[in-house]
Amino acid sequence: MRYLGNMAGGLQGRAAGWKGSDFYLSAMTLVSRFLLAILALCLFPALVQAAPAVPPAFERLVPTAFDDGLRLVELRPRCQGCPRSRVLEFASKDAATPAWKEQVSVQDGVTAMYAYPDTEYFANVKVEQSMPGMFEKDRSLVIQHLEHTYRRLRGRLDAHLAADPEAAAKMAAHTAPGREPLVFEREQVNGIDVLSYTVNVLGMGGGTISQIQFFVPGRETIVTAYLLVQRQSKFKDIEEFLRLRTAFILGYTAFLAS
């Protein structure tokens, strides 16, 4: 027993001496830093996950963060060797095949994906620079295509609701108050021309709730944003979505105008 007592006393003495040593202090510092890092990973994932690097040519065209928590989470360059254009398909009213096609020039571009923490993608954004001297023609075609797409969707929707009063009543009950089920808007926000169409009923179909066009003549760039249907989202109803949409437009146009 005396031996055990002496051994215990010796260990206590060594421990006391070790606690005051530089090795102990260094070890505890490392442990503390490790625990703080783990805590940061658990509590603040957005702080430790850096936004994707934006190429210099797009630094003034692709925001990395918005005031409401929306973040750039993925950035993809346009494919190498792609044609210097993209095709716009103008579909006929009663067939899936395109009635005609137009080409919009693309000198370079990126796809930017945005999301709120712990949600799926909120926005899929195509940022495309026109070929020199082609911006005005490209803008005219993009506007024509968006208007055509809206008229086609609106025509099909109106025909369906007219033929099915029960469906019309259900849609009216789920449409954002004071709004049409499908709207087209043209406005200027922070000095940037903005065109869009929005489905004011969640779950009406399709993967896009709103398509938004930003036009930036000074940089000969057209931005196309698709705000997406999500299973895991920050919004729970159409009113919440519309508030997030407004914040997205205000934030993106303010960035483009800066």
Tokens 């993925």 label which residue?
74
How far apart CA 46 and CA 119 sit, in angstroms, is 12
pLDDT recorded at residue 235: 93
Total residue length of the chain? 258
What integer pLDDT is reported at residue 254 of this predicted model?
Answer: 98
Which of the two residues, 138 and 207, has the higher pLDDT score? 138
Q: What pLDDT does 15 receive?
A: 41
Q: In whole numbers, what is the pLDDT of the chain averaged over residues?
A: 84
- pLDDT tens-digit readout, 203-255: 776 799 999 999 999 999 999 999 998 888 899 999 999 999 999 999 999 99
Rounded Cα distance, 228 and 115, in Å: 10
Question: Among positive and negative, which fits the CA dihedral 97, 103, 104, 105?
Answer: positive
Given a cut of 60, whether residue 257 has pLDDT beyond it is yes
Distance CA 168, CA 154 (A): 14
Q: What is the pLDDT of residue 37?
A: 39
Residue 19: is its pLDDT beyond 60? no
What would the two tokens of residue 48 be?
Answer: 């430790």
Strand partners, 197: 184, 211
CB 112 within 8 A of CB 214: no
Looking at the whole model, is its pTM more than 0.75? yes
pLDDT of amino acid 51: 84
Write down the pLDDT at residue 205: 63
User: Which has more confidence, 72 or 39?
Assistant: 72
Q: Is the pLDDT of residue 164 over 80?
A: yes
Domain limits, the chain: 2-42, 55-257
- Which sign does the torsion angle of CA 14, 17, 23, 28 carry? positive
Q: Are 71 and 50 in contact (CB under 8 A)?
A: no
Rounded to whole angstroms, the Cα distance separating 92 from 98 reads 6
Q: How high is the pLDDT of residue 92? A: 80
Task: Reply yes or no on whether the pLDDT at 1 is more than 50.
Answer: no
Residue type, 163: A
Give residue for tokens 């208007």: 147
CA 240 to chain centre: 16
Return d(Cα 117, Cα 43) in angstroms, integer: 11
d(CA 29, CA 45): 23
